[in-house]
Amino acid sequence: MTPRTVLVARLDNAGDVLLQGPLVRAVAAGADRVVLLAGPAGAEAAALLPGVDEVWTWACPWILGDPPPVHAADLAGLTERVRALAPDEALISTSFHQSPLPLALVLRGAGVPRISAISVDYPGSLLDVRHRVDGDVPEPERALSLARAAGFDLPAGDDGRLAVRRPLPPGAPAHRGHDLSPGYIVLHPGASVPARAWPAQRCAEAVEALADAGHRVLVTGGPGERALTAAVAGTRGTDLGGATSLAEMAAVLDGAAAVVAGNTGPAHLAAAVGTPVVSLFAPVVPVARWAPYGVPTVLLGDQDAPCRGSRARECPVPGHPCLTSVTAEDVVAAVGKLVRA
């Protein structure tokens, strides 16, 4: 039998890619090889997903928030690469506000014989399986429903939760003398979209309050967030800003008693390692779709704020009230609830 190669595409951020885990495992159960086409911000997360055999990276002009220009040579290069791979089929996974049809056109031009996607718009001959999903379904379930529509399903015993490859690497900060014995709290202050971030001053107050309550607090962030994490950690938290790869951050989150984060990648990474989350959730996107999936969660933030459903990147309401209404004491109480549970 000819080996069956399936191309799965998800072209946005790390958190979005992590939410594709159940879809990927379903496809892997029915394929010999899974190649995941990811954007630059999602490639590292793609490599963490069980079932992925190879990760391709491509900066998509119609998906990325800071999109590159459209170049014919770039599209031709992707077309030729897909043609050389010769996948038996492709699944294009998108958020509810993204269209799969431009990529479907490229893949069809590359000779992919069967293409499946969720599409509100009429796809003509671009899709072989046009799947539709109504309502605010959690993103992992929405993606898995696409896999099922394409003829793939989870293997027996797979509970459909998020997951990462194991064993995880040791957290790099442990090699620099930081105490990573289990039981600490992780606070992740950053977010790729400013409207989804809890203000830095509130984060710093939470570190102090958590320390007062007897918790060890680790503050995480990417290489570009070192100034933020240093300010938030202060003198009572441990600053890990820029100190970990994504896989190492997964190991750090895995050892936490709870994670405090906004609607951003590390919240989904925490869910993927099974750690409870205090979710500081701005309602600019639906919480039903994007809340941490499959783990105990305490949701904080005004879900009826005026910014609700706006998909704003910058808060459109003076004072950012949906999240500034959350206090350090609220976070301490939420952490206590999760730790006691």
Q: What is the mean pLDDT of each run of 10 residues along the chain (341 residues)?
A: 85 97 98 98 98 98 93 97 98 94 98 97 97 94 98 97 93 65 95 90 98 97 95 96 94 96 97 98 92 98 89 86 94 97 87
pLDDT at position 3 is 64
pLDDT at position 172 is 56
Q: Please give the model's pTM, rounded to 2 decimal places.
A: 0.95
pLDDT at position 97 is 87
Count the neighbouring beta carbons within 10 Å of the beta carbon of residue 67. Answer: 11
- Give the closest residue to 160 by CA, choosing from 30, 10, 17, 19: 19
pLDDT at position 174 is 52
pLDDT at position 2 is 59
Domains of the chain with CATH codes: 5-149 (3.40.50.2000), 173-340 (3.40.50.2000)
